[in-house]
Amino acid sequence: MTNRTAFVTGASRGIGRAIAHTLAHAGARVIVASNERENNDIVAGEIRAAGGQATPLFIDMTSQDSIKEAFAAALKEGRIDILVNNAGVTKDGFAVRMKKEDWDFVLSINLTGAFLACQQVLPGMMKERWGRIVNIASVVGQMGNASQANYVSSKAGIIGLTKALAREVAGRNVTVNAVAPGFIETDMTAKLPQEVKDAMAAQIALKRFGKPEDVAAAVKFLASDDAAYITGNVINVNGGMYM
């Protein structure tokens, strides 16, 4: 990935941080983007300390103006070859009582934000006739999950967006794929009671949670030249929870 630039949203922690580190280690210059300025600086600093290239960048995925400004700033330094739409949030609750603002908030970041980010990079990728877009979906976008109608809908939408865009831009040598993680060890899952973790692990064929680096490895592959003949696909990184 030498001489490639990767823009990673939600890169300030968890899976996004692992993706940023993994792509940087593979030789890409990484734009570490999220709405957490301090954490962006920390992650970019970690990458540079390890000998990689990284630039921190603020982005608010709920704001079309912020998205446009962030990508405009990134593009001033050169083209963006790889986009990883990783930014995501949850606002769980049973559908019968879910507030519209909680529905709108999750969809605005997880799906609309990802779509708007794609719009910013596609013209350049199509012109260069090379590009990789990797969208982070979720196992629940495939199998559903109670009390997550908004999140599940957003991640199912990400899969649909991936397939639609893949068909649109394949003729320009731009691939669009998704990675669907299962239960991954992150700050979010770390807060769960042990009995809940045990119940979740029991549903997984490998009987354990995955690590952020497992997801990052799949992203690295899809972003590489080795995946040139793969587009419109979903790689499941879920330990056999859903097959």
Q: Which of 127, 129, 154 is CA-nearest to residue 141?
A: 154
Residue type, 173: N
* CA dihedral (181, 185, 188, 193) positive or negative: positive
User: Tell me, what's the pLDDT at 186?
Assistant: 87
Cα 115 from Cα 167, distance rounded (Å): 15
pTM of the prediction? Answer: 0.97
pLDDT digit string, tens, across residues 167-177: 999 999 999 99
Tokens at residue 125, please? 């990728």
pLDDT band, very low/low/confident/very high, at 69 (cuts 50, 70, 90): very high
Instruction: Look at residues 57, 8, 58 and name the one whose alpha carbon lies nearest to residue 28.
Output: 8
Going by C-alpha positions, the residue among 161, 159, 181 that lies closest to residue 169 is 161
CATH number of 5-235: 3.40.50.720
What does the alpha-carbon distance between residue 52 and residue 27 come to, in Å, rounded to a whole number?
Answer: 7
How confident is the model at residue 56, as a pLDDT? 98
Q: For 15, what's the count of Cα atoms within 13 Å in the CB-facing half-sphere?
A: 31
Which contacts qualify for 70-75: CB closer than 8 Å, 24 or more apart?
A: 70/33, 71/7, 71/117, 71/120, 71/121, 74/5, 74/7, 74/31, 74/33, 75/120, 75/124
In one-letter notation, the amino acid at residue 182 is G
Q: Could you state, in order of their start, the residue ranges of all structural domains in the chain?
A: 5-235
| Catalytic one of 7, 71, 130, 151 | 151
pLDDT digits (tens, 9 = 90+) for 178-220: 999 999 998 877 877 899 889 989 999 999 999 999 999 999 9
**Would you call 242 a catalytic residue per the annotation?**
no
Q: Are 7 and 24 in contact (CB under 8 A)?
A: no
What integer pLDDT is reported at residue 169 of this predicted model?
98
**Better-predicted residue by pLDDT, 233 or 2:** 233
Torsion of CA 163, 153, 10, 57, to 10 degrees: 80
**Exposure of 175 in the CB half-sphere (CA atoms within 13 A):** 19
123 SS3 class? helix
Q: What is the pLDDT of residues 98-155, one digit of tens each?
A: 999 999 999 999 999 999 999 999 999 999 999 999 999 999 999 999 999 999 999 9
User: Using one digit for the tens of pLDDT, what is the confidence trace for 15-67?
Assistant: 999 999 999 999 999 999 999 999 999 999 999 999 999 999 999 999 999 99
